[in-house]
Structure formats: structure tokens, C-alpha cells
Amino acid sequence: MKQRTVLDGPEVRRALTRIAHEVLEANKGPQGLVLLGIPTRGVPLAARLAQAIARIEPQVDETALAGSLDITMHRDDLRKGPLRSVSPTSIPGGSVDGRTVVLVDDVLFSGRTIRAALDALSAIGRPAAVRLAVLVDRGHRRLPIRADHVGKNLPSALDERVGVRLQEIDGEDSVTITAAGGAS
């Protein structure tokens, strides 16, 4: 098994702080902003981004900034693989209409998850703008989707596996890449 760590805990925290600054700069402040994490690991990442934004802009209530967006029924791979459980969708303030939505996920790969997120988002409202923040962009897009905010660009081979571990789910923060034939 050939696995290497590309981001450790402090590097993950620094990347999220940088993304929080970028989000605020692109939005010209926190007004009208909502962060929607894509389950599973996008949800705690969105909460952490909300915390970072609240540290930068003390008047912001982090709990009124971050939510989650379930994309299960919008995926194009439902017929393949095991059944997926539906996660809750939670929209701070109750609506995305007229707001700037930042979709948050752990890894951007083919773009199919984000396409499903865009479909799910359009089913619940009409945001003024939609942006994308990811911890890792590993390339190999199959759809014309790109991230607006990236923690780490990680060129990888198609047969490599990028693993994101987060304290809230896995007990530690790290990003690893496992070579072909390796296990994570």
C-alpha cells in the first residue's frame, strides 16, 4: 500500500481559513451568504467555513450561515451500487432565493456530484448566485464544472484514490492519496 499524506490537520485548517477569506472577498462581505455542505464531509466543512467567517466578521452568526443540501435523489448513479440513505436538507433562513449560495464539498473529481447539487438547489429555490468551495480539486472533470475556491489542487492519476478524513467524522483531519492497487 503506497499512501501519502498531502494535507495534515494544521494544513486543512489553514486551507479553510483561506477559503473563508476568499468567500468573503468574492461576496463583498457576509450579507446574503449561505453555505450549503454536500453530505457527507461537505457538511462539517461548511460548518467550519461558517466558524472561520464568524471569526473574521464577528457580527456574523455562524449557525445562521451553514446548512446542508441533500443530493441523493438527483444523482445519476442511483441505479448502480448500494442504496443510499437520504440526508436532511437544512437551509439557514429557510430559503436560498436571492442569496449567494456557496456549495461546499470535500473533493471535486468528475463534477457529477456538483451537477446533482445544482439540480437539487434549483428544485428548492432561485439563488442570486452559486459558487463552489472544495477542500481538494483532483482534476479529471467529466462535466464543465470548476471550483471558485479550492483548498488544494491535487493532480492525480485516475486510478489513485484521494481520501479526506475530518475530525467530526473520522477523528482526525487529513487528506491522503493512495496509489493504484493500494488500500486506504
Confidence band for 79, pLDDT divided at 50, 70 and 90: low
Q: What is the mean pLDDT of residues 51-64?
A: 96
Domain with residue 90: its CATH number is 3.40.50.2020
Rounded to an integer, what distance in angstroms lies between the CA atom of residue 68 and that of residue 64?
12
pLDDT (tens digit per residue) in 133-144: 999 999 999 999
Q: Establish if 177 belongs to a structural domain.
A: no
**What SS3 state is found at 36?**
strand
Q: What is the mean pLDDT of residues 157-169?
A: 96
Q: Which residue has the higher pLDDT, 73 or 146?
A: 146
Which residues contact residue 13 at a Cβ distance below 8 angstroms, ignoring those fewer than 6 apart?
173
pLDDT at 164: 98
Cβ atoms of 7 and 184 closer than 8 Å: no
pLDDT (tens digit per residue) in 103-138: 999 999 999 999 999 999 999 999 999 999 999 999
**Domain membership of residue 22 as a residue range:** 10-77+86-157
Count of domains forming the chain? 1
Cβ atoms of 151 and 172 closer than 8 Å: no
Q: Establish if 66 belongs to a structural domain.
A: yes
Confidence band for 145, pLDDT divided at 50, 70 and 90: very high
Q: Establish if 172 belongs to a structural domain.
A: no
Q: Chain-wide mean pLDDT for the chain?
A: 94
